[in-house]
Amino acid sequence: MESGTLVTEIQRFAVNDGPGFRTNVFLKGCPLRCQWCHNPETIAPHREIYWKRRSCAQCGACLDACPNDAVNAPIHPFEARREESTYHKIIRDRCDLCLKCVDACQYGALEIVGTRLSVNEILDEVERDRPFYDNSGGGMTISGGEPTAHPEFVVQLIEGARSRGLHICLDTNGYCQWDILGPIVQSVDIVLYDLKHLDSVKHAEMVGVGNELVLDNLVKILGTGPEIWIRHPIVPDYSDSWGYHLSVAEFLDRLPGRIQRIDLLPFHNWCQDKYSWLGRDWPLKTTESMDPSIVELLVEAYQARGFAATTGGSGFEEFVVRGGH
């Protein structure tokens, strides 16, 4: 059994990932490679290092500390910070993550991504916000990355949360075998299920794999009992057409079982710094963030079939309706 796993962030006061005010636990590691991923730091299953060019003084301390010749020599800070600069501090294919460069940096320009935490360490942090959960109907959301990449740990985390009386949401892409996913979803209150695209070929083009397993697992989840919220990213020139969403609404309407709501999530490019900090190119970095008003029109395709549908997935509306303060 896993005694701990890598967490990139425990985000407090979230309102877009389940009902009420929530605390999101972002686990590190994901089997998919979505080109629009807004949390690239959660993809790799191991620790990584951010290099934040705007904070770097180019002092050379990290170069002196590195035993693997995995740090580029300093250049003028203004040159390194230019938007069109191709300079990157870390030579990633030489780095063995000894983290000596991070220890040497006095300016916060080098930062470890991924902290190994135990179940109790996570839950102790989550419980700090219990008064907000009690007033709003909120709780903990297990996210990532992909939680099912850590099945034993997630089972322990859910069991621990249950013993503390916490409401639990699982945010999953559904890309795993049912013998892993089934026991997990049966133990949570709400499953936030990511639907990337109905067309398997297009799914593979932008995600890296086809969608057959994802759709098969969705049908199985609908027979298990927890609430199901579908979350569909809206990406320009990929999943943003009216006709496409008419077909998705029809598909979901034909499924056995009840889908409680559908959240359409507009693409944004606010995460482009993260790709730069990790030394990665992002194929969508020049794609503009979507105007939410465009997505609001797509919501009507689902409402016409009787679904509760939202733009952005906010759970704050429920809090207001319930009379929270």
Per residue in 184-215, pLDDT (tens digit) is 999 999 999 999 999 999 999 999 999 999 99
- Tens of pLDDT along 50-91? 999 999 999 999 999 999 999 999 999 999 999 899 999 999
- Other beta carbons within 10 angstroms of residue 150's beta carbon come to 22
pLDDT band at 321 (very low <50, low <70, confident <90, very high): very low
Show Cβ contacts of residue 211 under 8 Å, excluding neighbours closer than 6 positions: 196, 197, 198, 199, 200, 203, 204
pLDDT band at 3 (very low <50, low <70, confident <90, very high): confident
Query: Computed from CA positions of residues 92, 98, 100, 105, in that sequence, does the dihedral angle turn out positive or negative?
Result: positive
Show Cβ contacts of residue 181 under 8 Å, excluding neighbours closer than 6 positions: 148, 172, 174, 217, 220, 221
The pLDDT assigned to 315 comes to 53
- Tens of pLDDT along 31-61? 999 999 999 999 999 999 999 999 999 999 9
Give the CA angle between residues 106, 112, 116 to the nearest 5°. 135
- Tens of pLDDT along 200-258? 999 999 999 999 999 999 999 998 889 999 999 999 999 999 999 999 999 999 999 89
Give the C-alpha separation, 231 to 189, whole Å.
16
- CA distances to 47, 55, 156, 180 from 77, rounded to whole Å, are 26, 9, 46, 48
Q: Which CATH architecture has domain 5-36+115-321?
A: Alpha-Beta Barrel (3.20)
Phi and psi torsions of 319, nearest 5°: -60, -45
Domain boundaries 48-113, CATH class:
alpha beta
Checking if the pLDDT of 159 tops 80, the result is yes
Averaged pLDDT score across all residues of the chain: 94
Domain extent listing, the chain: 5-36+115-321, 48-113
pLDDT band at 317 (very low <50, low <70, confident <90, very high): very low
pTM of the complete model: 0.93
Going by C-alpha positions, the residue among 138, 227, 147 that lies closest to residue 190 is 227
Which helix (DSSP H) or strand (DSSP E) does residue 202 occupy? helix 200-207
Give the CA angle between residues 227, 232, 235 to the nearest 5°. 170
The pLDDT assigned to 312 comes to 85
Going by C-alpha positions, the residue among 236, 222, 240, 218 that lies closest to residue 299 is 240
**Long-range pairs of 200-208 with CB within 8 A, sequence gap ≥ 24:** 202/238, 206/34, 206/35, 206/36, 206/235, 206/238, 207/32, 207/33, 207/34, 207/35, 208/32, 208/33, 208/34
End-to-end CA distance of the chain: 41
